[in-house]
Amino acid sequence: MFLQLLANGLVAGSVIAIAAVGVSLVYEILRIVNFAHGDYLTFGAFVGVAANVRYGERMLVATIVAIVATALLALVLEFALWRPMRRRGAGFMSLFITSIGLALLLRHVLFLVAGAEPRSYAVDPFKVYVVGSVRLGGSQGAAIVVGAVAIVLVGLLLARTALGRKMRALADDRALASIAGVNVDRVVVYTWLLAGALAGLAGVLQGLVQASFTPNTGFQLLLPIFAAVVLGGIGSAYGALVGGLLLGVAMELSTWEELAGGVNPVYKPVVAFVLLIGVLLVRPQGLLGKERLL
Partner 1 sequence: MTLLEVRGLTRSFGGVRAVDEASFDVAAGSITALIGPNGAGKSTLFNIVSGFLRAERGTVRFAGRAMQRRTPHRIARAGLVRTFQTPRALTKLSVLENVLLAAPHHPGERLGRVFATPRAVRSHEAAAEREARRLLELVRLDRHADEYAGTLSGGERKLLDFARVLMTEPRLILLDEPMAGVNPTLGGQLLEHILELREERGVAFLLIEHDLDLVMRASDTVVVMNEGRILTVGTPDEVRRDERVVDAYLGAQG
Measured CA distances, 111 to 33, 48, 214 (Å): 24, 16, 8
Q: Which stretch binds partner 1 (CB under 8 A): 116-124, 131-139, 166-174, 273-281?
A: 166-174
- Residue 180 sits in the site that holds partner 1 (CB under 8 A): yes
CB of 243 to partner 1, least distance (A): 18
Angle 205-201-39 (CA atoms, 0-180°, nearest 5)? 90
- Residue 282 sits in the site that holds partner 1 (CB under 8 A): no
Asked if 252 contacts 5 with a C-beta cutoff of 8 angstroms, the reply is yes
- Residue 182 sits in the site that holds partner 1 (CB under 8 A): yes
Evaluated on CA atoms 252, 253, 255, 257, the torsion sign reads positive
d(CA 244, CA 247): 5
- Residue 169 sits in the site that holds partner 1 (CB under 8 A): yes
- Residue 193 sits in the site that holds partner 1 (CB under 8 A): yes
- Residue 293 sits in the site that holds partner 1 (CB under 8 A): yes
CB of 293 to partner 1, least distance (A): 7
CB of 88 to partner 1, least distance (A): 14
Asked if 241 contacts 13 with a C-beta cutoff of 8 angstroms, the reply is no
Residue closer to partner 1 (CB basis): 130 or 293: 293
Q: Which of 85, 168, 273, 274 binds partner 1 (CB under 8 A)?
A: 168
d(CA 73, CA 200): 10
Which residues is 119 bridged to in the sheet? Answer: 213
Contact residues for partner 1 (CB under 8 A)?
A: 157, 161-163, 165-166, 168-169, 171-173, 175-186, 190, 193, 290, 293
